Structure 1
Amino acid sequence: MPTPSLDSGLHASTMKRLNLKLIPFLMLLYMVAYIDKSNISVAALQMNAELGLTARMYGIGVGLFFLTYILLEVPSSVILTRVGARRWIARIMITWGIVAAGMAFVQSANQLYGMRLLLGAAEAGFTPGIIYYLSQWYPKTDRAKAMSFFYIGAALASVIGLPLSGAFLHLDGYFGVSGWRWLFLLEGLPAVILGIVVLRYLPDSPQTTHWLHADQKDWLSRTIAAEQANSPISHHAAWQTAFRSRQVWLLSLFWLLQAFGTIGITLFLPLIVKSVSGQESFTVSVMSA
């Protein structure tokens, strides 16, 4: 039986290793995901005029993403638990990268609507999938900290992604292709590449990784298994408990209001800044970031 001091040392060394090997890569994945669903806000600086989109048509286009995203979030997450997080996260990234790059070929409002619906369907389950994956690696005492670092990827997406998108607009006219089309194409391809990397880089479980020592693997597997053994066995009972909890509903309301405000700002800010400042696209993207 391991002593408390030994367990404490293994805890610290194992978490340090996980934070080094998993968190930066997962942050990168989330940053790319956030860029691909929000870069339309910068593309709109050129795209709306070229396609003849009104503010209402643009709003419908960006909003339709969330229709399929919400509808398929739970089914996608269920499939992930059955086929494995690594494989399903890779599938999500490859398909959303293809769709995101395919936005470069949109020619009308209806095509924009269709592609945004496809993008939402392709990306559904990504964030819950990452949360599930982290739950297989991090004990409860460390999971919140791991999640907080993961979510930093969204902030980095704005800081890095918006100016990058603005820079891509300057490719306007290269090979006869509009700048906003270059933006979608060049920012969609990294998701495809990273999806392939996920298959090779992310291990399925602590026991299959090569960068943890044997004692670290054993401690982590024992800890996670013990926590799961103390969780409700019946998934049906767990669902009932969640839906009857006032705290769950209150936290859900907080999340809804937070998302309602930030998503609206994210998707319309460059257009607002452009109308107020009159600056060129790259300056607008930097100001928005």
Structure 2
Amino acid sequence: MPISATAPPASPAPALLDHTVAKVTARLLPFLLLMYVLAFLDRANIGFAKKAFQVDTGLSDAAFALGAGIFFIGYALFEIPSNLIMHRVGARAWMCRIMVTWGLISAAMAFAHTETAFYWLRFLLGVAEAGFFPGVILYLTYWIPAHARGRAMGLFYFGAPIAFIFGSPLSGLLLDLHGAGGFAGWQWMFLVEGLLASVVGVWAFWYLDNRPNDATWLTLEEKAALNGAIGAEEASKHAHGPKSVLAALSNPKLLYLCAIYFLIQMSVYGVVFYLPTQVAGLLGQKVGFTVGLVTAIPWVCALAAAYFIPRYSDRTGERRVPAALTLAVSGIGIAVSVATPSPFISLLALCVAAAGFIAVQPLFWTFPTGYLAGAAAAGGIALVNSLGALGGFVAPNVKTWAEGAFASGAAGLYLLAATTVLGALLFLGLKAMGLSEPERITASPDALRAPRAVSPQHQP
């Protein structure tokens, strides 16, 4: 809408803050997105290797499910200490460490020829990657004010869809290299995708800045606007939320959020680990380049949803109801994908499911990041993610159990559809728990005069 000549001028603080947030987003989000693409690819590429890997190693379906899920045990155990270390030493060094070690371990999966080696490497991969995701969520709270965080996290969540849009054909293409250089296709896949993560990890050390005050690419005024807005939010969260790590870890509101995220992750990994083989069954083909291309389709839909839904949420200020509806639709999509005899409708339902459980997560993270501050945020965010990660362990094993208990290949996904809808209902209870949508807080005039010189170790 055009502004009339008689309209009062806009406040300089919000205008400067919006400009600075846009600048920060353009600088940091593409690189964080690249990191997440590689993280998600190295975590979930076991789904592409499943059939060929089982043939070469003799792993049973139950052993594969256990190995796929055991990643999340190591991941959950080390989430909190990893995030506390990052809060202390900064993102540059710690993100580099995380990516280099997980890339090397993922590449070592190429030599997992026994059941024991498979279990150990999946567990160690979880240990190595622990802290990456909650570390990024925490890192964004240092740079992006709460009112714009849903949109920023939506951009970060492009990582999962992009990992499958481009990673699915890449994984399929590498699988088709079977026999080249004396390696099986699944070995090529683990080697190439793992080593890529290590290379980007080294790059992260030189690219990332720990805090706004460290950023040479921000002006003094931009640093001041960002520090003022985020400092005001931190003060508000300290006044109303838990003050310490221990208080955060036993906080009922945070545990309620853990339950929601656990159910979301059950839906994510209950589908992700088996999506390539499910699509292969629909097409009547083995997992390879063609199946990889078709598997990418649901993630294109997820990419669109992760773009539009968080933007709608930021614009309206509504988080709770859009999140509940998005997750409920995802649960319905999971159920329909196995209920219909039509391959086309099944694929369409998988598109709806993937779009829902990806797009709901940026909305979810606005609640814990809008409630926790300082070290409590570092520990609390890690707790939410670690308990949620256990959903990634439970999902494939529960799916396998349900299929055996009910003698039905569809029973597992029906069960996961039900837990997804339960998660949607829990979203509606957030208001009763006293967890409301974040409000916009801009920098005070005093905060605009000079940036605060605070070291990462002494941030609240």
| TM-score bucket (shorter structure) | over 0.9
What is the correspondence of 1:32-71 to structure 2 with a 5 Å cutoff?
32-71=38-77
Identity, in percent, stands at 39
Match of 1:207 in 2: 213
CA distance in 2 between counterparts of 1:79 and 1:163 reads 36
CA 1:263 to 1:237, structure 2 compared with 1: closer, same or farther past 3 Å? closer
Whole-angstrom CA distance in 1 between matches of 2:14 and 2:35: 31
CA deviation after TM superposition for structure 1 residue 286, in Å = 2.2
Q: 1:253 and 2:259 equivalent?
A: yes
Cα distance change of structure 1 residues 73 and 282 upon mapping to structure 2, 3 Å threshold: same
**Aligned residue in 2 for 1:15:** 21
1:286 pairs with 272, 276, 293, which one? 293
2:37 touches 2:163 (CA, 8 Å); kept in 1? Answer: yes
How far apart in 1 are the matches of 2:139 and 2:206?
16
| Shift in Å, 1:276 | 5.0
Displacement after TM superposition at 1:38 (Å):
0.2
What's the offset of the Cα at 1:4?
Answer: 6.9
Distance apart, 1:79 and its partner CA: 1.3
* Higher mean C-alpha deviation, range 213-222 or range 174-183: 213-222
Instruction: Return the letter of the residue paired with 1:133.
Output: Y
Alignment partner, residue 77 of structure 1: 83
* Equivalent residue in structure 1 for 2:204, among 198, 201, 225: 198
Of the candidates 114, 121, 126, which is equivalent to residue 115 of structure 1? 121
Any idea what SS the aligned residue of 1:230 has?
helix
Match of 1:27 among 12, 22, 33: 33
Task: Name which of 226, 235, 240 aligns with 1:229.
Answer: 235
Summarize the Cα distance change of 1:119–1:59 in structure 2 as closer, same or farther, 3 Å threshold. same
Once residues 68 and 222 of structure 1 are traced to their aligned partners in structure 2, the CA distance between those partners, rounded to angstroms, is: 38
Cα distance change on mapping 1:46 and 1:142 into 2, 3 Å: same
Mark the CA change 1:147 to 1:105 in structure 2 (over 3 Å): closer, same or farther.
Answer: same
In structure 1, the partner of 2:185 is: 179
Which is worse superposed, 111-120 or 215-224?
215-224
Q: Partners in 2 of 1:237 and 1:230 — Cα distance?
A: 19
CA–CA separation in structure 1 for the residues paired with 2:144 and 2:10: 18
User: 1:16-39 deviations in whole A, cap 9, x for unaligned?
Assistant: 101110111111111110000000
CA distance in structure 1 between the aligned counterparts of 2:186 and 2:269, rounded to whole angstroms = 20
Conservation of the 8 A alpha-carbon contact between 1:45 and 1:270: no
CA positional deviation for 1:127: 0.8
Distance 2:183 2:35 in 1: 28
State the TM-score, normalized to the length of structure 1. 0.92
Q: Deviations over 1:185-222 (max 9, x none)?
A: 00011111111111101111112212212211122122
Question: Partners of 1:231 and 1:42 in 2: how far apart?
Answer: 43
Q: 1:139 aligns with which of 135, 145, 154?
A: 145
Which residue does 1:239 correspond to in 2?
Answer: 248
Shift in Å at residue 46 of structure 1? 1.3
Q: Judging changes above 3 Å, is the alpha-carbon distance between structure 1 residues 250 and 231 closer, same or farther for their aligned structure 2 residues? A: closer
Conserved? CA contact 2:177–2:185, under 8 Å: yes
Relative to structure 1, is the Cα distance of residues 274 and 4 closer, same or farther in structure 2, using a 3 angstrom cutoff?
Answer: closer
2: CA distance, partners of 1:236 / 1:118 = 26
Partner Cα distance (2:278, 2:140) in 1? 37
In structure 2, the residue corresponding to 1:22 is in which secondary structure? helix
Q: Which has the higher helix share?
A: 1
For residues 218 and 158 of structure 1, do their structure 2 counterparts lie closer, same or farther at Cα, with a shift above 3 Å needed?
same
Equivalent in the alignment of 2:302: none
The Cα offsets for residues 224-282 of structure 1, whole Å up to 9 and x where unpaired, read as 22322333273157517x6222xx44443332222112202111222233345431322
After superposition, the Cα gap between the structure-2 partners of 1:237 and 1:177, relative to the gap in structure 1 and judged at 3 Å, is: closer
User: Structure 2 counterpart of 1:143, which letter?
Assistant: R
Residues 106-148 of structure 1: per-residue CA shift (max 9 Å, x gap): 1111101110000000001111100111111111222222112
How far apart, CA to CA, are the structure 1 residues paired with 2:264 and 2:245?
A: 29
